Chains A and B, each alone.
Chain A
């Protein structure tokens, strides 16, 4: 028994020592890598700044920055992300000249897992179209990290032909939040809005089936599409949003339509009363918010009624809409007479710094 315990404790000590040794080795390697990176960074930074400022030629810059491509990518990452126009073009010329693009194209094809992921990210950042066939192939990769890196890379390159393949992949992946989905698709640029519009028009003519093609419930894809329209303030998108704007349609979609319409600030020819009286408070509030944005005065009586809605946001946007319609006097009247919702009227006038509030209160 004692001997057994002796061997067990010996084994345990050996195990702990091995773990400690591994940690020390990793720590030393990490420190060494950082030291090398810092040394290279110092050298590269001085050269890069001169190059970007047109004080050094492309050839000379490329001759200094032509080794340790994996380190070089880490160094260039913040500049690729934050610079645009001629500065971004200069960076692209540099990574072409120093053969960095060729290196990463090879890594994307034949590198190990980490190298492939890094190559995808780099080639996306420099918008290298030659990477697209492989990136498209990796959309179906079993390796989720490689698939994700390829999605972002295709989006960064902004290849319109791959918009729907990427859309289908991201919609069917549970790991993406709605915000991440939107951010990915936005990177394809405003051009993608025309593709979406055409796709929806075909769908409305029942010549395709959105749910079958994208393999997700209709409300998910529609919400996403309308969010993108809103982001780009895509006025032609209003044409395909309006037919969907029916009070009994999916609430989430209605909310996204109103949010998009608020951003686009475009008036529509549709009776909005059903939405101001909708069972969902979010729909009611967004409809009121839309009226505030487009300054539509046909719904004044609905808005006045909504001042006493049970939800704060509905009351808020209704009072805001009345104010934005230039009907300050109506709000003052409501406050004076202490009519339902007068507190929100006072709140809005107070927020606007309107001097007549005191006048109303004293009245």
Chain B
């Protein structure tokens, strides 16, 4: 079996319609998916279970995505993080990349592109 196909992905996204669409797309590629809607639960979930990548929305309730990202990196967790956000200004993208994001995709987005970026990130 292809090692890539058992990768487990955590999706932190508060819009259920969008997270279900992403999950559908990723599951079609045989990824194992878990969805979380609130930022404060992401770190605990990553520590509790082993994931291969995180797809992170920046506008999460309770604790925003930037804070989540900073806490992940402060805890020295080397999980690949793909930020998916409506914030499309160059400074927002640079801020997230400086805070430790590996990839950045802006909304509106193309699910095919998201999948490709995820694959590229996992391959690296």
Contacts and interface: CB of A to CB of B under 8 A. Distances in A.
A83 B15 contact: no
A79 B17 contact: yes
A49 B109 contact: no
A82 B14 CA distance: 13
Contact of A53 (B24, B86, B113): B24
Contacts of A85: 110, 113
Contact of B18 (A82, A84, A86, A231): A82
Main DSSP-derived SS at the B contact region: helix
Interface string A84-120: 1111100000000000000000000000000000000
A323 to B, nearest CB: 17
Contacts of B108: 81-84, 88
B28 interface: yes
Given A49-B24, A53-B24, A78 B15 contact: yes
A86 B20 contact: no
A84 B86 CA distance: 12
B21 A52 contact: yes
Interface in A101-143: none
Interface in A300-346: none
Interface range for B: 10 to 19
Contacts of A81: 107-108
Most buried by A among B28, B108, B110, B113: B108
A88 B111 CA distance: 11
Most buried by A among B15, B17, B86, B107: B17
Interface string A42-68: 000100010011000000000000000
B70 interface: no
Contacts of B20: 45, 49
Contacts of A84: 108-110
Interface in B100-124: 107-113
A53 B112 CA distance: 9
B17 A78 contact: yes
A65 to B, nearest CB: 14
Contact of A78 (B18, B25, B110, B112): B18
A53 B28 contact: yes
B24 A82 contact: no
B12 to A, nearest CB: 15
Interface in B60-106: 86, 89
A87 B110 CA distance: 7
Nearest to A55: B28
A273 B97 CA distance: 35
Nearest to A48: B21
Nearest to A79: B17
B17 A87 contact: no
Nearest to B84: A82
Contacts of B107: 81-82
Contacts of B28: 53
Given A78-B15, A82-B15, A53 B25 contact: yes
Contacts of B110: 83-87
A61 B107 CA distance: 25
Interface string A34-46: 0000000000010
Contacts of B86: 82
Nearest to A83: B108
Interface in B1-60: 15, 17-18, 20-21, 24-25, 28
B5 to A, nearest CB: 17
B82 to A, nearest CB: 15
Contacts of B17: 45, 78-79
A307 B21 CA distance: 53
30 contacts: A45-B17, A49-B20, A49-B21, A49-B24, A49-B25, A52-B21, A53-B24, A53-B25, A53-B28, A78-B15, A79-B17, A79-B18, A79-B21, A81-B107, A81-B108, A82-B15, A82-B86, A82-B107, A82-B109, A83-B110, A84-B108, A84-B109, A84-B110, A86-B110, A86-B112, A87-B110, A87-B111, A87-B112, A88-B108, A231-B89
Ranked 7 nearest A-B pairs via Cβ = A84-B108, A78-B17, A49-B24, A85-B110, A82-B107, A82-B108, A82-B18
Interface of A: 45, 49, 52-53, 78-79, 81-88, 231
Given A49-B25, A79-B21, 16 more contacts: A49-B24, A52-B111, A53-B24, A53-B25, A78-B15, A79-B18, A81-B107, A82-B15, A82-B86, A82-B107, A82-B109, A83-B108, A84-B110, A85-B110, A87-B112, A88-B108
